[in-house]
A and B are shown apart, each in its own frame.
Chain A
Amino acid sequence: MKIKAKVKKDITKVKMLIKHDMETGRRKDQDGNIIPGLYITEVSASHNDQPVFYAEVGQAVSKDPYMAFSFKGGASGDKISITWKDSSGATETGEAAIK
């Protein structure tokens, strides 16, 4: 996962790029078999351990999902932590410092 967070005029903009195939469950492989669905369902983010973002998403999100949100406050060097969970229950957490 990649996170870019920047503060400007007291508003922190956080952008994320998550490595995930986002299989919809509608695609077929070379032999014509359906590839089972496996996609991210939830993404949450915190700033210095305080929650600042939560999203529910579905199969319609592109491969290697990109999302961005903004919140008031935040200072250069503060920690942003993002966690996602997919339809199999797998999760990943990534961290970055605000620039």
Chain B
Amino acid sequence: MALVKRRLKIKVGAVFFSLLVLCALASADAASDSSPDFKAMVQQDVDAFRTYFKVRFSKVAFAEYKNGVYAIDSASREQWLEMEDFPPYEFAVDEGEELFEMPFANGKTYADCFANGGEGIRQNYPYFDSQQGEVITLELAINKCREANGEKPLAYKKGPLAAISAYMASTSEGNKFAVEVPDEAAYQAYVEGKKFFYSKRGQLNFSCADCHLRVAGQKLRADITSPALGQPTGFPVYRAKWEELGTLHRRYAGCNKNIRAKPLPAQGRAYRNLEYFQSVMSQGLEINGPSSRK
């Protein structure tokens, strides 16, 4: 409702005025939170985010958002189902399993680094490490595990690391995203990610939200954009465009390039915070990675 009102105002031409009002509203929001309850603030965001999509796509069930654009586009969904029937990423999952089980030089394995031997835990990533003061994604944790055991880190966008991540996701299929924002430091990281999501970037001046929230489901150039809700659930993905498996941060870099913004480093702080925000927004949705995308 507020959105519609705002649009009207812009149409009328009172851009400046409406922005002023919004700024005032935003700062009023911030000022009124003298004793912040982070969990409640995050929950409010989550609810508003979900409601937005519920209104936009009233026929799409919440659980469906784990399927990306295929949740809202029936024509491409059919092709996607054909791919998922015998998906090319099955090779990568096997490879990932082999790598996962292969002991390091010191005799230990990945299983020693993770809770529950690394099985069925994808939904708990990323999490905020209060001691380190940073967001830990699954891919970062895999490399931290390697380094703790005297091995070289793997490249973050594709290849062996993507395969291991795919295998770990495959053992977690159906588990629901359970990423939380426990304290103030975590909330800072979450807000950084949120800020990235809503900030316009690149020569084309688009934010993540422009394509995947405001015009989600509409044709942008040749493609229908996927809804932001549930975006991280299916990663890593095998993209037809890549003809191989790639991680979420590889996709972020591709998105940024599309809007002519210089991509930021995979697993750098900015993308990790973005993944954190997106995963929090997707809480309650099932893990179904790896999956195939166009």
In the complex they form, whether A and B have CB atoms below 8 Å apart is answered with yes
A interface, CB within 8 angstroms of B: 2, 4, 15, 17, 19, 63-64, 66, 68
Kindly provide the distance from the CB of A40 to the nearest chain B CB, expressed in whole angstroms.
15
Could you say which residues of chain B place their CB within 8 Å of the CB of A64? 88, 91, 243
A22 to chain B, nearest CB (A): 9
Interchain nearest-CB distance for A83 vs B (Å): 18
Contact yes or no, A17 B88, CB < 8 A: yes
10 cross-chain pairs, A with B, having the tightest CB-CB distances, nearest first = A64-B88, A63-B243, A15-B86, A17-B86, A19-B91, A66-B86, A2-B90, A17-B90, A4-B86, A17-B88
- A residues in contact with B243, CB < 8 Å: 63-64
Residues of B within 8 A of A (CB): 85-86, 88, 90-91, 243
Contacting residues, chain B, for A63 (C-beta < 8 A): 88, 243
| Closest CB in chain A relative to B167 CB, distance in Å | 15
Q: Which residues of B contact A15 (CB under 8 A)?
A: 85-86
B247 nearest CB across to chain A (Å): 19
Q: What residues of chain A lie closer than 8 Å to B90, measured between beta carbons? A: 2, 17
Q: Which residue of B lies closest to A1 (CB)?
A: B91
Distance, CA A69 to CA B133, complexed state (A): 55
The chain A residue sitting closest to B90, CB to CB, is A2
In the bound complex, how far is the Cα of B81 from the Cα of A85, in angstroms? Answer: 28
